[in-house]
Amino acid sequence: MKLLKCGIGLLVFTCFLAAPVYPDTLLTVTRCIDGDTLQLSNGEKVRLIGVDTPESKNNAKTRRDAKRTGQDIKTITEQGKKAKEFTRQLVEGKQVRLEFDVRQRDKYGRLLAYVYVVSDIPNVVLPNKRIGHYDVQGEKYYEEFLNATLVWSGYAQVMTVPPNVKYQDLFLQLQEEARGQGAGFWGESLNNMKVDAR
């Protein structure tokens, strides 16, 4: 009986991980949970692939980051609040399109995605060469690659977690540009921070 219950539980969990997602559906961001995590209008939480922003609260990850980087917890959480606000201004209340890689969910059940912010006008945060456009029913829309914008603006670092590595090279290039220009946190106290390109 225990084996049957375990089997059913595993089946339900597997179905949850394989639950269909809708990459062509435009969804609205209802809340910015953190600099790299969003809440969507369909109830899903999305963790941005390939990037990592500082934590905005003192938690286990903040303490690990403090130990790894040599920064104090207060500095990390202040940077986390800035990254969260930067992301919030870019996406909250706006429509987004999701692009997936090999693995679509993390161990917490969150969607793992590359997020594109949709607008009827191009955003000027990223250089124009990084802004795409597409037509939906004869209407032209622009989309900005949020993951890339966070790295290029200096509010996130590259964090590669295989098998989701599709844009790793782009993110590393953008991080070098951000660092070289002193963008975002690179212009503050991150110059001594160890870059972790896992």
pLDDT tens digit at each of 198 positions of the chain: 444 344 433 333 333 333 445 556 899 999 999 999 999 999 999 999 999 999 888 888 888 888 888 888 898 899 999 999 999 999 999 999 999 999 999 999 999 999 999 887 665 555 444 445 555 555 677 888 999 999 999 999 999 999 999 999 999 999 999 999 999 999 975 444 444 443
CA distance 26 to 9: 32
Q: How far is CA 157 from the centre of its chain?
A: 10
162 touches 156 (CB < 8 A): no
CATH topology of domain 21-190: OB fold (Dihydrolipoamide Acetyltransferase, E2P) (2.40.50)
Q: Is the dihedral of CA 147, 78, 196, 47 positive or negative?
A: negative
Question: pTM score, two decimals?
Answer: 0.77
